Structure 1
Amino acid sequence: MDESDRKIILVTRKTRLQELVLRYNTVEQARFQAEHLGMDFGDFLVEDEVYAVAVRQVEAVLQAQGRLQRLDRTFLPNFLFPPTALVVVLGQDGLVANTLKYLQDGQKVLAINPDPDRWDGVLLPFGVSDLPTVLGDFWAGREKSREVVMAMASLTDGQTLLAVNDFFVGMRGHASARYEITHGDRHERQSSSGIIVSTGLGSTGWLRSVLTGAKATSGAKMQSTAETLLAMGLPWEAKRLVYAVREPFPGRWSKTSVVLGEIEAGEHLRIRSLMPEGGVIFSDGVEADGLDFRSGLEASIGFATTRGLLLT
């Protein structure tokens, strides 16, 4: 492909310092607020400078390789990615996950760790210095990639949402969620602090904290499943999803037998909202992009036909 035909999208994020300045207008006001809360403002400055240097270095390399467009993470939900574009994400892991679900099926992502001393980067296999070599392999068709299986939630009103790591189904804030849950031939009403549905990629994240409580209220088979997941997680490409109920409340109205399970290919977890207001389904920790989940709506959660591909 000729350089003039190459389209490259660079996805970046605001640093903690930039977010504070947006909120409080000036660096000095941001400093006052951070230090008032006992935070090390010097660390904010270091993080911001390291990221700014990484952005400049990455942009310089990419501009020499094709037509470059920079995109802030806040525009991801409304941006239409050209299907032939190479998408470059300048970490953290959460930014990679949030980008993957807005791409075309099978569109490849090159993820870069801007600050290896700060971020471990499970989804960030490359450093800034690796970029010229990786791009050379990509344009020559020698690249390697790893598939990332995603989940999809479909509501009866037509709304849909993808998840790279996990879904949360419950109430906004800290109120108890009330709903009916169905998996296969198992069905019951529940009151809990919400449900986590995790992909293989997300199985070593939020799900781990929920599994500890879920296995205590489940049968022997599910206890064994929870222990295995806690020890090993699931591969990114696993054709299984795992759901776990957070703090299920046992009572006359609500039951606690369907609290942990695996969703295989072709299966769906169905959840019917009994929440007049405040119900929500969001993915990958981003509540702002969530779906309203009010009484009468039913969500069907299973595998997405869309798949992510991460260059490795």
Structure 2
Amino acid sequence: MIMTNLKTIFRRPLIIYLEGYKREASEIKRLIKSIYNCDSKIISRKRRKQILCNRRICKRYSLIITIGGDGTFLRTAHFVKETIILGLNPKPLEKEGFLTTTSTEEFKQLLRMKNQNFSVVRLPRIKVRINNKELEEKAVNEVFIGSKKSYKTIRYELIVGNKSEEQLSSGIIVATAQGTKAWFRSAGGLPVKNTTENNKKLYFVIREPYFGRVHSPKLLMGSSKRIVIKPKQNSILVFDSLSEEHSLKKDDFVVLDILENDLRVLNF
């Protein structure tokens, strides 16, 4: 979708910056003020897992701009519902910026251009329910379920479609289409592109599965609209490798669903 009425998007911006990039945030605030005659609220993100924007706060703004790496973008995007979000990379030569492909300098130049068209890209996210209670956060890249200590294995039942299997492994990674290019890929999963069909699915890969006399798992990688996991021992669930750890108890019922076209990202 092409957005030509930028004044609507910029009518009430929120700028969230990683500590150390206050100057960049202030410059962008002044530029938005001079072009669109609106005031932006600025918030500093000081800690890796710090929550800055819940759904109640996020819905007050027409646009949320994050300045930092992918971590700042992801942590904010966990709680965004309908608000459009834009991630800026202040150091493109140092930060990978898979989700923050535009630098702050490029953004300032684009703002000054007249008749600049912005597109809004819709990305899928993952919704999680534990014992029928939906968590407020939504994963952009992946959800990890495993032991709190990476050198330990966990036992669980994995249900994908009409297939189920009890497994023993160091954990399971469930990803969106864009998430298959991140940790999922490093764990042995196959990356896919963000297409209409791919955005309708979740993708899973089992980390370091145990093979022995009792366990000989076959559901090691695949895709589905819904994935169910029933831990057989205490474990944790984490969004995008940087959320708070959600504790899982034995026999909890964890349901992961895909939310296609869920996150609105400003792109140009």
**TM-score, normalization by structure 2:** 0.82
Q: Contact 2:31–2:108 (CA<8 Å) still a contact in 1?
A: yes
CA-to-aligned-CA distance 1:209-228 (integer Å, 9 cap, x gap): 211xxxxxxxxxxxxxx5xx
Q: 2:193 is matched with which residue: 234, 237, 247? A: 234
Structure 1 match to 2:232: 274
Structure 1 match to 2:11: 6
Unaligned runs of 5+ in 2: 1-5
- Per the alignment, in what secondary structure is the counterpart of residue 133 of structure 2? coil
Structure 2 match to 1:310: 265
Residues 119 and 202 from structure 1, CA distance in 2 versus in 1: closer, same or farther, beyond 3 angstroms? Answer: same
Aligned: 1:150 with 2:111? no
Structure 2 match to 1:298: 253
State how many pairs are aligned: 250
- Per the alignment, in what secondary structure is the counterpart of residue 246 of structure 2? strand
Q: Output the aligned Cα RMSD.
A: 2.7
Instruction: Give the alignment of 1:193-232 within 5 angstroms.
Output: 193-211=170-188, 229-230=190-191
Q: CA deviation at 1:243?
A: 0.1
Letter in 1 for 2:200: K
Structure of greater Rg? 1
Residues 86 and 142 from structure 1, CA distance in 2 versus in 1: closer, same or farther, beyond 3 angstroms? Answer: same
Q: CA deviation at 1:13?
A: 1.6
Structure 2 match to 1:121: 97
Letter in 2 for 1:282: V
CA distance in 1, matches of 2:153, 2:53: 28
Q: Contact 1:148–1:236 (CA<8 Å) still a contact in 2?
A: no
Percent of aligned pairs sharing the same letter = 20
Residues 68 and 178 from structure 1, CA distance in 2 versus in 1: closer, same or farther, beyond 3 angstroms? Answer: same
CA-to-aligned-CA distance 1:208-251 (integer Å, 9 cap, x gap): 1211xxxxxxxxxxxxxx5xx35xx3227622221000111123
Q: 1:180 is matched with which residue: 157, 170, 173? A: 157
Aligned: 1:61 with 2:66? no
Structure 1 match to 2:169: 192
Task: Give the structure with the larger helix fraction.
Answer: 1
CA-to-aligned-CA distance 1:28-68 (integer Å, 9 cap, x gap): xxxxxxxxxxxxxxxxxxxx5xx344233223224444222
Structure 2 match to 1:170: 146
Letter in 2 for 1:151: I
Structure 1 match to 2:218: 257
CA distance in 2, matches of 1:2, 1:309: 17
CA distance in 1, matches of 2:95, 2:207: 28
CA distance in 2, matches of 1:141, 1:60: 19
Letter in 2 for 1:119: K
Structure 2 match to 1:24: none
**TM-score, normalization by structure 1:** 0.71
Unaligned runs of 5+ in 1: 15-47, 212-225
